[in-house]
Amino acid sequence: MPSPDRPDLTIRALGTQVRAWGAGAFEALAEVRRLERLLTRFTPSPLTRLNGAGELRDPPAELVEALRHALTVAQETRGWVTPTVLPALEVAGYRQGPGDGRGGDAVLVPDTAGIVVRDEIIRLPPGVRLDLGGTAKGWIAGRAGRLLRGPGLVDAGGDLHLRLDRPGTVGIETPTGTPAFVELPRGEHGVATSSVLRRAWPGGHHLIDPHTGAPAHTRFVQVTAVTGDVRTAETLAKLALLGADEVLEEHLAAQPGARLLAYEASGATWTWEGQTWGRWAA
């Protein structure tokens, strides 16, 4: 329950509702705001200056760190989760908001080769512009979560950093609106949900298949991943939603305690637990 020493606070940030609970919640939300101003592509920021000019001298250390994280994820996922999707997103119809673009033919999603990231300069190859949304929310939630003192959480619209001092339960909103509940032991956890049902518009959605440059055709409409770190959970959820099965299973093999909860459009629900897929019995 909220109390003066464990406040429960909510702000609008990162295009969603961001909640922080526990000692340090105010500081955590302030950190979310600060990092959003540095990493957003929707209002003037160091990232928009980088995209506009192709290089940025003396970049903020946080942009350097967030971009290095995004490039590591791109390498580890063989390009399935990549920050170079911005032109494809815009052509698909997502400029300042979902569906606000005119759309058009899919464009090539470039790889990350040639992107230079150093403490003193970031430089992009010609034609490359970045959207950090695929990795930044989880990265920001994890950074803000470090400011919590004791048990608490930072929930950035489905990317959740959670610290429990006793076993607990996390509720996950399903595509039908009915919550599913996952039991968690004491300790730190990361929970991330990726969906093609939100930030969607007629004929498209925000999840770009980097191999086609178009909104992905997916078996699942929503995937939630639960593991020890929200950034890892975010990557697992994206890989499962994109259908990158081979890369996903490699990542899951390195995360033996990870769990996935995946929903098909038909309503069929699947889980990955204990290194195998099975039907979910709520």
Label the pairing between strands 187-195 and 220-227.
antiparallel
Q: In what order do the strands lie in the sheet with 55-57?
A: 55-57, 121-123, 116-117
pLDDT at 70 (0 to 100): 97
Angle (CA) 81-59-159 rounded to 5° is 40
Residue 110 CA, chain-centre distance (Å), reads: 20
Residue 45 CA, chain-centre distance (Å), reads: 19
Question: Do residues 163 and 22 make contact, with C-beta atoms less than 8 angstroms apart?
Answer: yes
Ordered by start, the domain boundaries in the chain are: 166-282
Question: What does the alpha-carbon distance between residue 18 and residue 236 come to, in Å, rounded to a whole number?
Answer: 21
pLDDT at 102 (0 to 100): 67
CATH H-level superfamily of 166-282: ApbE-like domains (3.10.520.10)
Question: What does the alpha-carbon distance between residue 37 and residue 128 come to, in Å, rounded to a whole number?
Answer: 21
pLDDT at 138 (0 to 100): 94
pLDDT at 99 (0 to 100): 79
pLDDT at 279 (0 to 100): 86
* Token pair 């494809």: residue: 88
Contacts of 256 (CB under 8 A, 6+ apart): 275
Below-50 pLDDT ranges, the chain: none
Question: What does the alpha-carbon distance between residue 206 and residue 197 come to, in Å, rounded to a whole number?
Answer: 9
pLDDT at 230 (0 to 100): 96
DSSP secondary structure string for all residues of 178-207: -EEEEEE-SEEEEEEEEESSSSEETTEES-
Q: Three-class SS of residue 128?
A: coil
Question: What does the alpha-carbon distance between residue 142 and residue 118 come to, in Å, rounded to a whole number?
Answer: 23
